[in-house]
Amino acid sequence: MYIKKLVLTVLLIGLYSFTFGQNTKSLYKDTLHPDPWSLIISRPDSTPEMNYIRCYLKVTDAETGEDVTYSKIKANYAWVSTPHMGHPYQHTYYLDGGMSMHLLLKPGKYNISFYTPKEKVFGIKVSNKGDWISNTFYYDTTNPTNVIWLIPTANSNGFFNGGWYITYKAPQYFKYVKPYVTED
């Protein structure tokens, strides 16, 4: 009798795990990793105030100037704590501190940039009272880079000055990511 109950319990647990495990898997891409057809944009952890300021992706076709952010690109995001678990974006492509964006781009040449509208900046004092805008990163799918980084900008004294910098070089870390220093 004991063995029958044990077998029944194991079968029920297996059926439950299979049923609900399949539903959960359909929500997420199983694993994320670098491949020749994707670009990873990493925004490392910064100060807690800076982490919650979102920056929004803008991608234009380098040859025509057309905005292709949502027409030629698909994206998933991952958290630093679970780097290989992909989550599809529901609406807007953005990054918070501690996130990575995995872009799957159609073949072509692109200009990639990020921006934060001034009305979305809160909780941090900076000298830039307008929109925060990044530099433009040129990306060609025939000669791809696997990973680029997005970091906040700061003045020569180390204070955030309201901007973003895209680079192919990994930034320096102390407790948090070291901001990119711009001219005062």
- Is the Cβ–Cβ distance between 169 and 150 less than 8 Å? no
pLDDT for res 94:
95
Segment 52-57 shows an average pLDDT of 94
Same domain, 143 and 158: yes
Spatial separation of the C-alpha atoms in residues 180 and 165, rounded to whole Å: 7
Segment 152-159 shows an average pLDDT of 86
Same domain, 95 and 149: yes
- Is the Cβ–Cβ distance between 16 and 8 less than 8 Å? no
Backbone angles phi, psi at 54, to 5 degrees: -80, 145
The token duo for 180 is 């990119």
Residue entry with tokens 């290989």 = 84
Domain that residue 19 falls in: 1-30
pLDDT for res 13:
52
Same domain, 23 and 93: no
Residue entry with tokens 């979305």 = 120
Please provide the size of the chain in residues. 184
Q: Examine the pLDDT at 10 and tell me if it is beyond 80.
A: no
Look at 168 and 28; give whichever has higher pLDDT: 168
Which 8-state DSSP code applies to residue 29? B
- To the question of pTM greater than 0.85 for the whole model, the response is no
Tally of domains in the chain: 2
Q: What is the pLDDT of residues 72-130, one digit of tens each?
A: 899 999 987 787 788 889 889 999 999 999 998 888 999 999 999 988 888 787 878 88
Spatial separation of the C-alpha atoms in residues 153 and 130, rounded to whole Å: 14
Per-residue CA distances from 106 to 30, 81, 141 (Å): 21, 29, 8
Same domain, 96 and 24: no
Q: What is the pLDDT of residues 18-51, one digit of tens each?
A: 444 433 333 344 566 556 668 999 999 888 888 8
Look at 183 and 58; give whichever has higher pLDDT: 58
pLDDT for res 24:
36
Same domain, 6 and 55: no
Same domain, 122 and 61: yes
Which 8-state DSSP code applies to residue 120? G
Which amino acid makes up residue 159? F
pLDDT for res 31:
63
Spatial separation of the C-alpha atoms in residues 126 and 159, rounded to whole Å: 8
Spatial separation of the C-alpha atoms in residues 84 and 68, rounded to whole Å: 26
The token duo for 84 is 């290989």
